[in-house]
A and B are shown apart, each in its own frame.
Chain A
Amino acid sequence: MSLEELAYKGLTSAHSRRRFLKKVGMIGGGVMAMGIVGEGLTFGSAAAQTAGDDVKTLQFAYTLENVAIAAYKAAAGSGLLTDDVKAVGIKFAGQHQDHANALKAALQSVKGDVPAVPTKINFPAFKNQADILNFALALESAAVGAYYTSSGKFSNRDLAVAAASIVGVEATHVAILSAALQKDPIPTAFVTGTPFDQVQATANSLLGAPSGGQGGGTPATTTTMPSGAPATGTGGSASQGPDLTGAGVLGLAAAVAGAAYAVTRRKSAQTAEEQSNEE
């Protein structure tokens, strides 16, 4: 059973689907919940026959975000990171938490089940900082792939907008981690992330793939690229320009200095915001 199937477990019954559809008409709470991803989000008329799949996709995304949060927390506690890199990881974990919170609120607003936060994740053994950064890069690329793919599958355009607002941020994580690893941070002009079948394989290896069919009537879920998707699985970009790997401005120092600055600034900005809120 794939992670996606696990995440979808129990939500494909006629009952839950009907319940979801019933809620589609009163999604005001969802608008508020997803409001943080952009002003004026409204849930239009979702295509009724696939609305249940929207819930599943939200659940899968929620689980992925929680895996990322756990990964960055584990990395921060590993003792293998420099302070600067640790600060970047903590910052990214915070952004993934924001995403998870938004997805959770959206799920609750449509009375969809919120999957349990995974507690047992099979992280690979990390020997050093580069191992961790490479793992984080793979995870972020997978997240980009997951959101990119799902943005073409949502029956509700507003959910596609929400996915787009999140995936753009995951893409910045990919670039920053690539720069920190002295890899080309912008290898392609069209950023689609990891192909979805690989995303599922990654998720399965991290969360385990139980052999028993515990879904009790859960239909076999196959996830394919949306039919309208551009053929970009292999990058899609014929000419890629010079490889910037190792370019001075993109090196670890610059990326980390910027991110460390970011964390400091974020704190002071938050303080300022809190103060203004109190007024």
Chain B
Amino acid sequence: MSFSSIYAAPTQADMDILTAAIKAEQKAQAAYAAGAASGKLDAATVALATKIMGQHAEHEKAEAAALTKMGGTPPAKPASFDFPAFGSAEDILKYALGLEQDAANTYFGAVKTLQDNSLVLAVISIQNDEAQHVALLRSALKMDPSPVSFLPFK
């Protein structure tokens, strides 16, 4: 995805939203990497985690490009993250689910405040992807994969 609009008057608020989003995407990638390397996930779930991780990387890349275009500086990826100790595959999936629900809800919340219309659309397209991640993780956890009729996730 490219953010094709011309940022005639980028606002600091929009840039702050992008910066926060990039940090969340970095954390999600690290969480899936840790989960995939934990040895606690079966092969199919590792494949799922790896695929989802790649999509978060795509989100980060697009957001960093947009932020740069607006004159901002994308935040550097932290050297490490404080993840909880994962005792089981279920622990990992539940932790990932929490991140994904937060991400979907955060992007949804940004729709209300973003000034740049092309950012609104881009954010919705990412929100939708996170919502799909939520559905798949919930399905893997034998939970209702589509628990609400309207975002945000509860």
Q: Nearest 8 A-B pairs (CB), nearest first? A: A262-B144, A191-B128, A248-B44, A189-B55, A98-B149, A241-B54, A171-B128, A236-B1
Q: Does B42 belong to the interface (CB within 8 Å)?
A: yes
The majority secondary structure among interface residues of chain B is: helix
Is the CB–CB distance between A191 and B117 below 8 Å? no
- Mask for B113-151, Cβ within 8 A of A = 1, else 0? 000111011101111110111111011111111111111
Q: Is the CB of B2 within 8 A of A161?
A: no
Residues from chain B with Cβ under 8 Å of A193 in the complex = 128
Question: Is B5 close to A, CB under 8 A?
Answer: yes
Identify A164's interface contact among B59, B111, B147, CB under 8 A: B111
Can you list 9 A-B contacts (CB < 8 A)?
A95-B146, A157-B111, A165-B150, A169-B149, A186-B55, A189-B55, A249-B140, A255-B139, A258-B145
Question: Which residues of B come within 8 Å of A, CB atoms?
Answer: 1-5, 42-45, 47-48, 50-52, 54-56, 58-59, 62, 104, 108, 111-112, 116-118, 120-122, 124-129, 131-136, 138-152
User: Is A160 a contact of B55 with CB atoms below 8 Å?
Assistant: no
A137 to chain B, nearest CB (A): 13
Tell me if A271 is interfacial: C-beta within 8 Å of chain B: no
The smallest C-beta distance from B107 to any residue of chain A, in angstroms, reads 8
Pair A176/B146 contact, Cβ less than 8 Å? yes
Nearest opposing residue in chain A for B49, CB measure: A249
Question: Known: A152-B120, A165-B150, A241-B50. Is A258-B143 also a contact (CB below 8 A)?
Answer: yes
Which of the segments A73-81, A107-115, A125-133, A226-234 contacts the partner chain? A226-234
CB of A244 within 8 A of chain B? Answer: yes
A258, B137: Cα distance in complex, Å = 10
The residue among B59, B122, B150 with the most chain A CB atoms within 10 A of its own CB is B150
Q: Closest CB-CB distance, B132 to chain A, in whole Å?
A: 4
Given contacts A228-B5, A247-B48, contact A254 B140 (CB under 8 A): yes
A173 and B129 contacting across the interface, CB-CB below 8 Å: no
Given contacts A248-B43, A249-B48, 19 further A-B contacts (CB under 8 A): A102-B150, A148-B124, A148-B125, A160-B120, A164-B124, A165-B152, A168-B127, A171-B131, A172-B145, A174-B132, A175-B136, A185-B136, A190-B58, A192-B125, A228-B121, A231-B1, A239-B58, A254-B140, A257-B142
